[in-house]
Amino acid sequence: MKQYLPMKVTVSIIKADIGGLPGHAWVHPKILEFAAERLREEQRSGLLIDYFVYNVGDDMSLLMTHTKGENNPDIHGLAWSIFKEATENIAKKVKLYGAGQDLLKDTFSGNIRGGLGPQVAEMEFEERPSEPLVVFAADKTEPGAFNLPFYRIFADPFNTAGLVIDPAMHQGGFRFEILDVYEGKVYLLDAPENSYDILGLIGTPGRYIIRRIYRKSDLVQASVTSVERLNLIAGRYVGKDDPVAIVRAQHGLPAVGEVLEAFAYPHLVEGWMRGGSHVGPLMPAKMVSIDQERKIALGPKMTRFDGPPKVIALGFQLHDGYLEGPRGLI
């Protein structure tokens, strides 16, 4: 029988919009293919354990597993060079709309965070005996769009029966890390004890955003959302972007179905049409196709009024750093 060895693995999602086909509707499928090929090379070279490439609307996500930890220059540099090369070799050649629009700087300086343009969600953890992962990506919205569903997943027993029934969750609940993106400050608050305070903050999703959630009894990290503090440039706060997130499920964390349940209600989110100047319902969307061989999932298009805002969910079983799956979950 195979012995189970706990292993520290890092799951990194780095995403960018490097051009739309047409307008802000979709990612060029060739760009997904290019990215998947580059990641396959790095899997062979040993930098990555596994990977998957997918999009929602005009945003491409690179999902990578490795053992290098968060904020690793090799991993961030790899994503940066893929975005750069795809911009030069494909997006600019066929004149995609807004080619390279998320690559705000010319040079890479070790970390993709802090104003380079692409968004990052990363989590390093010890693999549990079974490790179900749900990855989310949304287009035509902002990171705060996940506030309401994530609150309901981890703090609302009417969404998550496990908060009442499962001793591991019932014991202490969850600790929420909330980032004030204007002031660059972090709030640590516990549910259920401080749920009124949590809601007082996250009810303003353009400013207070749930970034990480921990199980209180042992501080196991359950989720991470791509969000950074905004930069005040010429009197305007900039840096808001279409979000991605990672959620771990089961074994004392919410079940996969409890995680998805919160998305059955299409709440109103900001970020639709013309620089995100409209509000619309967050629609759970299906993928167009999933190619297991090439590790590419082609996501939904943004059409009506460039939307509506859409969210996709892909489910994996992580084992020894390998991504088994995915299954389109909504």
Q: Residue 237 catalytic?
A: yes
Is 165 a residue that touches other proteins (CB under 8 A)? no
Q: Residue 196 catalytic?
A: no
Question: Which partner in Mg ion, other proteins, none is near 166 (CB below 5 to 8 A by kind)?
Answer: none
Q: Residue 17 catalytic?
A: yes
Residue 35, classed as helix, strand or coil, is: helix
CA distances to 46, 126, 145, 229, 324 from 209, rounded to whole Å, are: 35, 26, 9, 10, 30
Q: Which of 226, 90, 227, 215 is nearest to 163 (CA)?
A: 215
Is 185 a residue that touches other proteins (CB under 8 A)? yes
Question: Which partner in Mg ion, other proteins, none is near 242 (CB below 5 to 8 A by kind)?
Answer: Mg ion
Nearer to other proteins, 89 or 204 (CB): 204
Question: Which region among 22-30, 80-88, 96-104, 174-182 touches other proteins (by CB under 8 A)?
Answer: 174-182
Instruction: Report the run of H or E that residue 135 belongs to, with start and end.
Output: strand 131-139
Question: Which partner in Mg ion, other proteins, none is near 329 (CB below 5 to 8 A by kind)?
Answer: none
Long-range contact set of residues 89-93: C-beta below 8 Å, sequence gap at least 24: 89/34, 90/28, 90/30, 90/31, 90/34, 91/18, 91/19, 91/28, 91/31, 92/19
Strand bridging mode 50-56 / 296-298: parallel
CA distances to 113, 200, 256 from 163, rounded to whole Å, are: 34, 21, 14
User: Catalytic one among 15, 140, 240, 310?
Assistant: 240
User: Catalytic one among 97, 182, 187, 237?
Assistant: 237
Is 206 a residue that touches other proteins (CB under 8 A)? yes
Question: Which partner in other proteins, Mg ion, none is near 42 (CB below 5 to 8 A by kind)?
Answer: none
d(CA 53, CA 78): 14
Whole-number minimum distance, CB 141 to Mg ion, in Å? 9
Rounded (10°) angle between helices 195-202 and 147-155: 170
Sign of CA dihedral 122, 266, 188, 242: positive
Structure tokens at 285: 């969307």
Is 194 a residue that touches other proteins (CB under 8 A)? yes
Name which of residues 247 to 266 contact other proteins (CB under 8 A): 265
Whole-number minimum distance, CB 1 to other proteins, in Å? 34
Question: Which region among 84-92, 93-101, 206-214, 293-301 touches other proteins (by CB under 8 A)?
Answer: 206-214
Nearer to Mg ion, 72 or 101 (CB): 101
Sign of CA dihedral 56, 123, 68, 80: positive
Residue 50, classed as helix, strand or coil, is: strand
Is 237 a residue that touches other proteins (CB under 8 A)? no
Question: Which partner in other proteins, Mg ion, none is near 59 (CB below 5 to 8 A by kind)?
Answer: Mg ion
Q: Which of 209, 315, 178 is nearest to 259 (CA)?
A: 315
Region class of 271: left (phi > 0), else alpha (psi between -120 and 50), else beta: left
Whole-number minimum distance, CB 312 to Mg ion, in Å? 12
Whole-number minimum distance, CB 65 to other proteins, in Å? 21
Whole-number minimum distance, CB 147 to other proteins, in Å? 7
Interface with other proteins (CB under 8 A), residue total: 35
Nearer to Mg ion, 142 or 242 (CB): 242
Task: Kindly list the residues in this chain that would bind Mg ion in the complex (CB under 5 A).
Answer: 17, 58-59, 139, 242
d(CA 260, CA 290): 19
Q: Which residues bind other proteins (CB under 8 A)?
A: 147-148, 175, 177, 179-180, 183-190, 193-194, 196-197, 199-207, 214, 219, 229, 265, 267-268, 270, 279
Annotated catalytic residues are 17, 237, 240
